[in-house]
Amino acid sequence: MAKVIVHIDLNAFFATAEEIRDSSLIDKPIIVGSDGRKGIVSTASYAARKFGVRSGMPTFQAKRLCPHVIIMPVDFRYYGLLSREFFAFVYKYTKNIEKASVDECYADMSEALRDVSDVVGYFKDMQQKLLHKTGLKCSIGVGPTKFLAKMASDMKKPMGVTILRRRDIPKLLHPLPIKDFYGIGRKTAPRLESIGIKTIGDLAKRIDDEDADLHSILGKFFYVIKDWVNGRGSDEIDVEPWDPKSIGNSSTFMHDTNDFVEIKDMISSLSKEVSERAKADRKKGTTVQLVIKDTEFKTINRSITFKEPTNDYDVIFDRGLSLLERHYKGQLIRLVGITLQNLIDPRDLVIQMTLFDYHKHEEASETKLLINELNRKLKKPMLIRASEVERGGSKNEN
């Protein structure tokens, strides 16, 4: 018997989060991202999308499309809190959850829906309860595979519920434009359109005919898509906690550049974003990677690894800048990226002191306890450690 796989996707998550924090923003065109010449739209509210604004668009372009758009800075720590609240809510319905990102998940609801006669009503009620409890809106897709559930959740936004069974594929999936096919990127879609594949139905027919042109364009992904478009594919939910191995940000320059100061400023901005995201996710890493893409789309990846895990902006920026200074040869580039890799949760770290450090720590603690006890008896903070006098003197001298 087919499983019931559900894809739950928060609608315009970052923008909705800002509306929750400030109700005066509700129904107004807002974007979450950075302003200025190098700014990029991270998320756009649905009011902004009506003007053609979309994620990944340069901020200056969004402002041209919608001159009265409101720009909000990214706050990953706040979004992380709301994300955890969202997943805690979904866990009340089923434990069989696979986190796909901070604002979406797959869930196996086969058991939970066993005795439910009105599936759409069940999920409508779920949406309303999430909205009432958290202020977050979501779209829900239901299907026998993860791919069909994902496609279904994209069909009605915001606050839609769509069921996409295998028998519904010709009616609901085939008429959609090829660019809406999950897994086919913005670069591949135009190539498919150039050989006459305008809709998912066109793709399904050509792929079943083992079209040679499709083989050439899709490569090893050909048979994965063939399964997906015919209602096959994975229905397995990975219930392991979603735990990214890296956190990265990249940005394309408005114009090709070899201006070292401009590139350095971009690395600084990206390092700050990576630091904020890592802190929001409670992650630290031991490797910083620099990515440079030149005007001929040649990509240079360089990284540096260190012993002490960090999510500190200064450290990330310093390592990224040192990689730039060492490996950048002055060519024109179009994109730069910074990634923090080999992530760990600091709470999982086991700090092992040497015997010397342990005794030093114990002695310092005992001394501090003794001084605190004497000060309490004297009823005045008259005594401090010599090391604290030294630190105080240094501060005064500076």
For 174-242, the DSSP string reads: TTSBGGGSTT--TTHHHHHHHTT--BHHHHHHHHHTT-HHHHHHHGGGHHHHHHHHTT-S------SPP
CA angle 13, 16, 18 (to 5 degrees): 115
Residues in the chain: 398
Beta strands 70-72; 246-257: pairing state: unpaired
**Is residue 137 within 8 Å of 127, Cβ to Cβ?**
yes
Annotated active-site positions, please?
104
Are 328 and 278 spatial neighbours (Cβ–Cβ below 8 Å)? no
Query: Whose structure tokens read 């910083």?
Result: 288
> Residues 58, 334, 38, CA angle at the centre, nearest 5°?
30
Report DSSP state, residue 241.
P
Integer-rounded Cα Rg, in Å, for the chain is 26
